[in-house]
A and B are shown apart, each in its own frame.
Chain A
Amino acid sequence: MTADDLPNPEPTLDIDRHLKYWKMCLQSPLPHHYLSNEGNRMALAYFIINSIAILTPHANNNNNNNNNNNNTDNNLITPQDRRKLRKWVLSHQHPGGGFSPASSLVYPLHGYEQSEPETGSQPAEAAGMANAPGTLFALQLLALLADEDDPERAFDGVDRAQTLRWLRRLQRKDGSFGEVLRLLPGQGWFIGGGYDMRYCYIAASIRWMLRGDVEEGEPGWVEDIDKERLTSYILSSQTYDGGFAGSSQEEPHAGYAYCAISALSLLDRPLQTTSQPPPPSPSLSRIRDLPALIHWLTSRQFIYLEHPPPVAEQEEEEEDPVNFLLPPLTSLSLSPPLIASNGRTNKVADTCYTWWVVAALSNLCQLQLLGDWAPARRFLLEKMAHRIGGFSKYPGGPPDVYHSCFGLTVMSLMGEPGLQKLDGGLAVPVVTVGVIEQARGELLRRARGEGKGKGVVELGLRMRGGTTRPGWLRGVN
């Protein structure tokens, strides 16, 4: 396990090559096979901008390992572009709160004329649709695209109160969250999106990014989600083998485990981050069987063995492998060359699970249980990194924005030289978390009537010749 045992020197992360891949994704349309993600365009945008942020050294970065890529294209996104892209992100904001995840769900403004965001009545719902992931990624993008010298204005234009009100309505009676609200004929309001731990995590993230510490009765106060119910819903989703699923009755999944752990951690996270990773939250200690969870998470790692090329006469071998190859136990004493991770017991290797597993342990503040990082890093760089840049889902596959982003996030979480240090709970660089905190602070100041824009709306309304706010302006402070 030490460097002496290794025949080859450690591979390096080719930052320029990855930047080139992301530059391509930034500047030209994504190919047609991304069509299935058309409804989640904001997520694709987050993968692109987040990766570029991770790969680009920040002006105020304390990271002392960025000497080797000072010559990279620091201006991949110019300040003017940042402004325009923020405008584009904000164009997805829904008058009823939240953001639409795709431009195809944003309607021309006249579609909102009759909207009633307070009650969320039909017309507002009919035109345009906000959803939980769209809102999370939009907020992250606004922070990632903030002006470097004016971070506290990153959330300018975000309707904090309305978004938090809308978020509350996504919570079900059992405490879980859905992703979207829809009025179904004959069924009333329906919280769409299934029982999915991802939405619980997203709700906890949005809440942490926007809510702040406004007390009840103060201006800008919005009723909170039912935090206790959400916590108990998450806690009850631990499965018999220690992992987490959408409910305890399903198969545990590393992505859901990350979401459960991170949601618990974000629900109690201090508003200002003082250390990385943030100290474990009290909610985490309520996990019913923490040793089993840790056992399950660490068991996601395995020694990666290549499937032998299929032999002609063995026809059943030609189909996709459903299990990873088990090494014979007797050979285990050899130094493990490559370590991969899977998302479920006995499933195959996938780049993103290295991230979900490592980040989950990091959020539990148990990263030391991971053991040696080098073989896992080597697996990513030798098997998953593509020669055009980016990472693939499976060894030898083509890169895609999702796996390329999570390949980078995990490397950055593990302190890869030349990369921005990452926050494992919010999956954006630590500097961006700072931006979010400042931007939230500014929104809160305005909500309390201390902000720079105090009275502007009232002035505008007076100029318009009335004091009643049109529906789309309600909730704007």
Chain B
Amino acid sequence: MLSIVCLQAATTTVTTTKPSAPAAPSTNNNNNASKQPEKEEPSTVAELSRYHFELCHPFEGKRSTTQADQLVWLASRLVTRLPVRFLGAKGQKDLWKTVNEHSLPARGFNLRKYKKRQQQHKGVDSRGRDIGEYTAKEWGIRQEKRVTLSCLQLQSQRFRELRDRQKRGFVDYQTGDQVLVTDSEYTEEKQRRREMERLSRELYGAERMARQGKLALDPEWDDVVPIVMEDPENALAAIAYSPDYAEAMSYLRAVMSAKEYSPRSLKLTEYIINLNPAHYTVWLFRAANIFAMKLPIPDEITWLNQIALENLKNYQIWHHRNLLVEHYHPSIASDPPALASFATSEREFLTQILAEDTKNYHVWSYRSWMVGKLGVWGNPEELRSTEELIEQDVRNNSAWSHRFYLVFSDPENCTPGEKYAATEADPKVPGEIVDREVAYAEEKIRLAPQNQSGWNYLRGVLVKGGRGLSSVREFAEEFVKGLGEGEEGEEVRSSHALDLLAEVYKELGERERADLCLRRLMEKWDRIRGGYWQWRREGLELAEVAA
């Protein structure tokens, strides 16, 4: 009521005053925000909304002291804010008169709306550009994106509801079927979320929208609360890894903690293994998943082959393989053809990977274990593929070691139960095997006399076969001529031959000659091991060496 009284008073005043309102905008042109629309078209959305606002509110933000100006201002306020019919007939007439005289805008958005607009124009987009600087067209595109995002959010909401209904076992009221979320709906939702994430980031910038990880966006993981790891202020050896890895680990922690063995857990281990194949825990969790879900081991081995080829220096991969085969073996142990074919496929893969890295320790360790587990003894293929590697590189000590194992741990050739140590003679080793291996070593040593692998092998074979080292005296002497006969006459083609000869002569009781070998090694042929040769000389217990 009060307002109407005031209004009447005001309108009365308006009618009795000579207006000077049209001058008002121009008299206030020191306000730099106000632009003369005739002079410059507003181009950005901020300018445009200000321009529209000013058109509707010619007096907004301007103050005039004259009563006439104030009346015009009041008229402009009234005409835009009140239904005019509330005024009396005279009041209406006067109001319209003033409005017409001063061309006052009779409609227009109000201050609240304007403030809202201004709010929308604040801030920066994902490229750091001020949104107020957008052209009307760009603004339109942006608005369209916002609408798209809202629609996607609705669809996503619908998806969640549908999945929730499925979980609760609801039926469709029209068809009476169980509510089911199809795979394609999952895929769509996944894409939708990626799109939503992209749009959000584009619209609101990286600062306001923290990047969501792959798993957080995946509808499959909605029900898992990741266990995020946070380092305290003082921590050692933090690694600057990617946000993707951090996210994946936080989900892994959640599923491991819940002992969730499921296809998605398995998928998660694969994802993490691709990011970091060296995390032993992930591998153990993967194995647990495979065993819990009773997945076929050969499939896993096929998958593993590719990972192994991509990560040659990885230890965990081979431990995992070991575990798989250990688990798989009982199911084929009583089926010789299956066992043989599995052993063959293993050998083929090992040959392939050793071609990439001939001395890979993990592969060779696995190989020797595999031979024992699958009983590949006596398989000529196994020996042949090892021989091939020695032929390619006679200094490949891994292949030599494997050969020793293949020959001398073969149940056919040795006393069972590891009764004799690797460095001890085993009476069960057949003489012809020892002959064959001695011949093999000698042949390879002739190819490369300074190759230690061959000499170590020869020595190992003689010890294992219970033969004296002196049985290869002539062979070793081939590499040493004129020992101790002065710089000119002395010719040594292998320091290892000299080393072995020292033992040969010691065995034969020719201690002086043994000492000569060691002395010449120390003085000339292998000086870097001076301390060692001296120690060996002391072991001969010759009077003058000790002195």
Contacts and interface: CB of A to CB of B under 8 A. Distances in A.
Contacts of B229: 103-104, 106
Contact of A369 (B233, B395, B525, B535): B535
Given A239-B401, A347-B397, A38 B460 contact: no
Contact of B364 (A36, A103, A251, A347): A251
Interface in A270-303: 288-289, 291-292, 294-295, 298-299, 301-303
A169 B460 CA distance: 36
Interface size of B as a range = 35 or more
A120 interface: no
A346 B527 contact: no
A291 to B, nearest CB: 8
Nearest to B246: A104
The DSSP consensus for interface residues of chain A is mixed
Interface string A38-61: 110110110011000000000000
Nearest to A26: B236
Given A103-B235, A288-B424, A251 B278 contact: no
Interface string B245-281: 1000100010011110100000000000001111111
Contacts of B278: 36-39
Given A322-B359, A332-B524, A240 B239 contact: no
A180 B404 contact: no
A34 B393 contact: no
Nearest to A25: B237
B281 A185 contact: no
A236 B421 contact: yes
B493 interface: yes
Contact of B423 (A25, A42, A238): A238
B259 A126 contact: yes
Interface stretch (A202-210, A223-231, A370-378, A415-423): A370-378
A35 B239 contact: yes
Nearest to A248: B422
A44 B236 contact: yes
Interface string A210-246: 0000000000000000000000000110111110011
A38 B287 CA distance: 20
Given A39-B280, A236-B418, A368-B531, A126 B237 contact: no
Nearest to B448: A326
A346 B396 contact: yes
A189 interface: no
Interface string A452-467: 0000000000000000
Given A104-B249, A239-B401, A303 B528 contact: yes
B241 interface: yes
B238 A29 contact: yes
A32 B242 contact: yes
Contacts of B492: 329
A396 interface: no
Given A238-B421, A242-B423, A253-B361, A323 B237 contact: no
Classify the interface of chain B: helix, strand, loop or mixed. Answer: helix
Interface stretch (A80-88, A156-164, A384-392): A80-88
Contacts of B464: 240
Contacts of A369: 531-532, 535
B463 interface: yes
Contacts of B232: 84, 87-88, 91
A192 interface: yes
Interface string B19-60: 000000000000000000000000000000000000000000
A70 interface: no
B524 A333 contact: yes
Contacts of A182: 284, 288
Given A288-B423, A298-B532, A329 B495 contact: yes
B517 to A, nearest CB: 14
A332 B236 contact: no
Contacts of A111: 227, 257
A243 B153 CA distance: 66
A186 B75 CA distance: 87
Q: Which of A85, A192, A303 has the most CB of B within 10 A?
A: A192
Interface in A54-84: 81, 84
Interface in B452-470: 452-453, 456-457, 459-460, 463-464
Contacts of B145: none
B396 to A, nearest CB: 7
B238 A127 contact: no
Contact of A180 (B261, B284, B318, B530): B284
A473 interface: no
Nearest to A328: B450
B365 interface: yes
A32 B239 contact: yes
A43 to B, nearest CB: 8
Contacts of A372: 528, 530-531
B372 interface: yes
6 contacts: A36-B278, A38-B276, A180-B284, A184-B291, A235-B421, A241-B457
Given A241-B459, A250-B401, A371-B528, 8 more contacts: A39-B279, A239-B422, A242-B423, A250-B364, A298-B529, A332-B495, A344-B361, A371-B529
Complex A-B, nearest 8 residue pairs according to Cβ-Cβ distance, in ascending order: A240-B460, A84-B234, A45-B236, A185-B292, A44-B237, A371-B531, A36-B278, A251-B401
Interface of B: 227, 229, 231-242, 245, 249, 253, 256-259, 261, 275-282, 284, 287-288, 291-292, 315, 318-319, 322-323, 327, 358-359, 361, 364-365, 368-369, 372, 393, 395-398, 401-402, 404-405, 408-409, 418, 421-424, 450-453, 456-457, 459-460, 463-464, 492-495, 524-532, 535, 539
